[in-house]
Amino acid sequence: MSEQMVTSLSVIESVELTQIQQTLSKITQFQNLVQSQLKQSIDYGIIPGTGNKPTLLKPGAEKILMLMGLSSEFEMMDSTRDFKEGFFQYQVKCRLYKNGVLITEGIGAANTRENKYVKQNAFTIDNTVLKMAKKRALVDATLLVASLSQIFTQDIEDLDLQGNAPTQGQVTHDSTDTISKAQAKRMYAISHVDAELCKATLAAYGYEKSEQVRKADYEKICAEIEKKASARDTDQSAPDDDDLPWKD
């Protein structure tokens, strides 16, 4: 028997199985709590054609850290700011702390030659690329510390929620993004094909068109449209007094 095998067996034999079972149970409970608190298209995004595992977004990562009582700290590991060639890249490390104690680290990188940025003016998106690197580091660290890699991913964030490459000037997946065409169609369907109802509800939130709706407002608007549509349908289905079988 090799020394490596003996070492592995000794580690297994020293493990307290009851404690492991309790830890795994707590992890499962926490994962269920996280999933119940996060909202689709705001905290995470499900991208068609990429399987069932959703992408964890920055707002979702921040909520998870708040639930765990963790604070974040960022460190620049490497950067390139070439104003002559118009190339900018950043590599960032995110450290997560609990009461001043380092818990885990995550790493993220971004550069202006990525598909989502390559057609844009590199000199105007320098700060955007830096923020993207920080966001990726934050999400990476969050997935590690919360044992959520089996639930969420961050590897497909260069696609929008419809599986398309992001358009020029669009910052993908932040809470300030506007909704997709499919989400706009869902609002219309919820209204039972009532364009005026949709328009009036959007106006109440300060929007003129559906493509202007921010993801942060999307669920609230959908709920209100559904409520109004249900009330309208109830009123329309109620019979008039003349139609009731009144007797003299």
Give me the helices (H) in the chain, please: 3-13, 17-37, 58-68, 126-145, 181-190, 195-204, 215-237
Average pLDDT of the chain? 77
From-to residues of CATH 3.30.160 in the chain: 39-174
More confident residue, 55 or 239: 55
CA distance 95 to 101: 10
pLDDT of 57 reads 86
Residue 211 CA, chain-centre distance (Å), reads 19
CA distance 177 to 69: 27
Terminal alpha carbon distance of the chain: 101
Specify the fold of 39-174.
Answer: Double Stranded RNA Binding Domain (3.30.160)
- In tens, the pLDDT along 183-215 reads 888 888 888 878 888 888 888 888 888 888 887
- As a whole number, mean pLDDT of residues 165-177 equals 41
Instruction: Name the pTM for this structure.
Output: 0.56
Q: Is the pLDDT of residue 245 over 80?
A: no
- Angle (nearest 5°) at CA 222 between 156 and 52: 30
pLDDT-derived band at 125, boundaries 50, 70, 90: very high
Tokens matching residue 20: 């492991």
* 3-state DSSP assignment of residue 74: strand
pLDDT-derived band at 165, boundaries 50, 70, 90: very low
- In tens, the pLDDT along 127-141 reads 999 999 999 999 999
Distant-in-sequence, close-in-space partners of 19: CB < 8 Å, separation ≥ 6: none
CA distance 79 to 91: 6
pLDDT of 175 reads 40
Q: How far is CA 38 from CA 35, 60, 219, in A?
A: 6, 6, 12
Q: Is the pLDDT of residue 148 over 90?
A: no
- In tens, the pLDDT along 6-65 reads 566 666 666 676 776 776 777 777 777 777 788 877 888 765 555 566 788 888 899 999
Q: Is the pLDDT of residue 156 over 70?
A: no
pLDDT of 14 reads 67
